[in-house]
């Protein structure tokens, strides 16, 4: 441009071109130093960045765009610990325009001393370790035997008690029934179940009527009249109740030992859905606990009622049958109260 201006004189185009080149130099200087400062900040060398920016602004006060970057560098410097000085070579004035710029060179380089590797010691099985392992195995076997005894001993005692109980109260020995006798026995059981079911139905205790008729149906298919009672019992029970509220009330009653109130709550829940196995088992368990509690309170007749209700819910449970047998013998004075308490002690919670 200088040569052209000397040859042809000054013109508007030459002036514009000169301003354009100066603008390029200005922008290149700003972009170059901005890039270097960003690199220093990312390397946690804010102090060097501040020093370079201050020096550049002193030499080029027209680069006002770098003042914000200088403030940022100063804030970063206040948050960083002091660093070792490094010498940087920067092309501030765009003297090397069009040529690649060298990367910053640090005058000090440090390297950490090499870490020493620990020698791995081989574990050798000594005679003492073998003895410890043997002792551990023996202790483990003893623990297993103790746990097994903890669970098996009560069962063994229960069986021995019931054998002694039967010896003191021997049952009549009868010959094995014939097929005809077995059929008559089942028919008698069917008639008893349906008769009790109709009685409970008339008392508006539809849940017991329902389960008794289901038991009768397991003996042989219900007769049309009995089937009508089964359907009617189920229809009477299909009422919506607040299950969660009743369950909470039952839990509070159980915690207080008030089994009769808890039975009433769970009975209501089960009546709304008699096929619910969970509440059926819970109600059976409550009847059993109420029966045991009645025996402990010397109320065997109440205990008999509770066990009878439990057997309606679970007629094939052999333990419930034995509970009823013990209570009946207690009522008839065939066994003492102490003997009955010893029996039910195995089932108390």
pLDDT at 56: 80
188 burial type by CB count under 10 A (0-12 exposed, 13-18 middle, 19+ buried): exposed
pTM over 0.75: no
The predicted structure's pLDDT at residue 252: 94
Whether the per-residue pLDDT at 88 is higher than 80: the answer is: no
- Residue pair 49/41 in contact (Cβ under 8 Å)? The answer is yes
Residue scoring higher pLDDT (46 or 335): 335
- The per-residue pLDDT for 11 is 83
The neighbour count for residue 64, using CB atoms within 10 Å, is: 10
What's the pLDDT tens digit per position in 25-66?
767 777 787 888 788 888 788 888 888 888 888 887 777 777
What confidence score (pLDDT) does residue 6 get?
81
Report, as an integer, the average pLDDT of 168-174.
Answer: 54
- pLDDT at position 288 is 94
Report which of 281, 283, 326 is spatially closest to residue 303, judged by C-alpha positions: 326
Under a CB-based contact definition with an 8 Å cutoff, are residues 105 and 89 in contact? yes
H or E segment at 70?
Answer: helix 67-79
Give me the pLDDT at residue 135, please: 85
Q: Indicate the average pLDDT of the chain.
A: 80
Does residue 290 register a pLDDT over 80? yes
For the segment 216-221, the average pLDDT, to the nearest whole number, is: 91
Q: What is the pLDDT of residue 128?
A: 59
Q: Which has more pLDDT, 119 or 26?
A: 26
C-alpha to C-alpha distance for 190 and 213, rounded to whole angstroms: 9
3-state secondary structure of 178: coil
pLDDT of residue 8: 81
Judge whether residue 111 has pLDDT over 50: no
Top pLDDT among 108 and 323 is at 323
CA distance 324 to 348: 15
DSSP letter assigned to residue 173: P
Contact 279/269 with Cβ under 8 angstroms? yes
Structure tokens at 29: 């200087």
Q: Find the range with the poorest average confidence among 37-51, 214-228, 315-329.
A: 37-51
| Res. 339: pLDDT tops 60 | yes
User: Closest Cα to residue 303, out of 341, 265, 256, 342?
Assistant: 341
Angle, to 10 degrees, between the axis of helix 46-59 and the axis of helix 12-42?
160
CA–CA separation, 349 and 346 (whole Å): 9
Residue 196 has pLDDT above 70, yes or no: yes
> What's the rounded Cα separation, in Å, for the pair 201 and 230?
9
Q: Give residue 330's Cα distance to chain centre.
A: 47
Per-residue pLDDT reduced to its tens digit, 224-280: 999 998 999 988 887 888 999 999 999 999 999 899 999 999 999 999 999 899 999
Helix (H/G/I), strand (E/B), else coil: 108: coil
CA distance 166 to 174: 15
């Amino acid at each position: 441009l200088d040569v052209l201006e000397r040859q042809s004189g000054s013109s508007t185009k030459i002036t514009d071109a000169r301003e354009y080149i100066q603008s390029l130099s200005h922008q290149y200087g700003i972009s170059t130093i901005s890039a270097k400062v960003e690199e220093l900040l990312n390397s946690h060398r804010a102090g060097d960045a501040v020093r370079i920016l201050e020096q550049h602004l002193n030499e080029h006060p027209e680069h006002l765009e770098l003042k914000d970057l200088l403030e940022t560098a100063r804030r970063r410097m206040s948050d960083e610990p002091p660093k070792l000085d490094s010498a940087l070579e920067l092309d501030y004035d765009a003297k090397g325009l069009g040529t690649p710029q060298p990367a910053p060179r640090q005058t000090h380089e440090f390297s950490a001393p090499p870490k020493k590797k620990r020698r791995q010691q081989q574990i050798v099985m000594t005679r003492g370790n073998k003895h410890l392992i043997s002792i551990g195995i023996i202790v483990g076997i003893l623990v297993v035997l103790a746990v097994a005894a903890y669970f098996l001993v009560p069962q063994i005692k229960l069986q021995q008690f019931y054998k002694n109980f039967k010896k003191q109260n021997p049952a009549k020995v009868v010959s094995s029934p014939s097929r005809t006798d077995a059929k008559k026995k089942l028919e008698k059981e069917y008639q008893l179940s349906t008769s009790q079911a109709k009685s409970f139905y008339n008392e508006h205790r539809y849940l017991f009527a329902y389960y008794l008729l289901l038991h009768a149906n397991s003996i042989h298919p219900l007769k049309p009249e009995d089937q009508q009672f089964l359907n009617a019992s189920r229809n009477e029970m299909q009422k919506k109740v607040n299950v969660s509220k009743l369950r909470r009330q039952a839990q509070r009653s159980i915690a207080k030992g008030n089994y009769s109130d808890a039975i009433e709550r769970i009975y209501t829940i089960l009546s709304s859905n008699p096929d619910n196995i969970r509440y059926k088992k819970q109600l059976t368990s409550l009847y059993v606990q109420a029966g045991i509690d009645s025996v402990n309170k010397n109320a065997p007749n109440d205990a008999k009622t509770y066990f009878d209700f439990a057997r309606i819910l679970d007629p094939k449970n052999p333990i419930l049958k034995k509970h009823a047998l013990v209570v009946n013998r207690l009522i008839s004075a065939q066994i003492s109260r102490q003997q009955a308490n010893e029996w039910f002690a195995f089932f108390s919670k």
